Amino acid sequence: MDRREKEALVASLRERFDEATSVVVTQQKGLSVAQSMELRRKARDAGATYKVAKNRLAKLALDGTKFQALSPLMTGPTALAASDDAVAAAKVCVEFAKKNEKLTIIGGSLNGELLDEDGVKALAALPSLDELRGNIVGLLQTPATNVAGVLQAPAGQLARVFGAYGATDEAA
C-alpha cells in the first residue's frame, strides 16, 4: 500500500467516523475469510460498516473526531464497526461474538462517550431505532383505536334499540 492509498484510507475512515453515531472496536484472532465476510454482510444488512484497518492508520483517522478516545484500544488485530444507528454496530458485533469466540469486543464509543465491553453489550441489548419508532407508532395508534371503539359503541346500541322497537311495532 503506497502513501496515496494510505491517505485515501485514512480520509475515508475519518469521513465514516464523522458520520457515525457509534463505533465498536473488536479483536479478531483467527477469524477466517468466510467468517469475516459473513460479519461484514450482517453489518451491512443492519446499516453498519465493519472495517479492518492497520492500527496506526485507524489512530490517524480517529484523531480529531468525537471517537478519539478509542485510540488506546487500537492494539493487536483490531477491526472497527461503525453505524449511524446508535445500536446497530453493537448488536451485530455482540451477536456474532456470541456465536464465534474468535471475535472479541474490546470497547466502543457512543457519540464520543467511551464504553467498555459491558457498555457495548448493554448498548446492544437496547431496541434499534426502527423498533423504537414502531413502538411509538403503536402507542399513538392505540388511543385512536380506543376512541373509535367508544364512539361506535353508542351508535351500535342505538341501532339495536331502534331495531327492537321496529320489530315490536311490526308484531303489533
Residue 39: half-sphere exposure toward Cβ, Cα within 13 Å: 31
Looking at the structure, do residues 93 and 160 belong to the same domain, yes or no? Answer: no
The boundaries of the domain holding residue 71 are 3-126
Distance CA 82, CA 17 (A): 7
Cell 320489530 sits at which residue? 167
Looking at the structure, do residues 142 and 100 belong to the same domain, yes or no? Answer: no
Residues 6+ apart with CB under 8 A from 78: 25, 26, 27, 28, 52, 55, 58, 106
CA-nearest of 129, 130, 110 to 119 is 110
Distance CA 85, CA 19 (A): 10
Number of domains in the chain: 2
Print pLDDT tens along the chain (172 aa). 788 888 888 888 888 888 888 899 999 888 888 998 999 999 999 889 898 888 899 888 888 888 888 889 888 888 999 998 888 889 999 999 998 888 889 999 888 888 888 888 888 888 777 777 787 777 777 666 665 665 666 666 666 766 777 777 666 5
Looking at the structure, do residues 146 and 85 belong to the same domain, yes or no? Answer: no
Looking at the structure, do residues 109 and 167 belong to the same domain, yes or no? Answer: no
